[in-house]
Structure 1
């Protein structure tokens, strides 16, 4: 999926940058793109993606903050400077693990959401192709009574 999107974007950028029609054609392309971008279904999807990204990204700053608090507490504990340093290093390692876990959880949630959306699209396509298929009809012929 990423490859297809990248290809389309690359072709579009290459066309816009390489076109000999110049600014006028660029403005036409931009106008058409903005028409598509401002369609209600597109904006609905943009809003869904933004909301989902915000909810998933909220976990990472929390893990960072908790890690910083742990390191600060480890440094402020009583003991020799060497013990404080060791405690701070251990707390930092734990905090780094927590941040990595939060990022991994967010990535897994995104992956699951993408797979669910992909499955829903495939199911929708299967349903729509079945409903658009023409039903089989039997040909009827009249028999002459002669």
Structure 2
């Protein structure tokens, strides 16, 4: 119960402060976020993080499926294969690193 009350109080404070800041401040924050997201360094970092996450997920799936064998549901296996194909996993060697 204590956490619910804390959450509601935090939500209320955030709403009050947000409404006092007004639309102009919201537009400033939105413009800043848009400019940051267009920065090539930020885009490269996000792309790199996504690619690394996909690689780790693929390695983890392979390790888990080796240990549990046929206990991995086919729906999960198909979803992982689809994500791997969509990410362009064709350029990976046996170690899971790209050749580029």
TM-score of the aligned structures, taking structure 1 as reference length? 0.33
| TM-score normalised by structure 2 residue count | 0.45
Bigger CA radius of gyration: 1
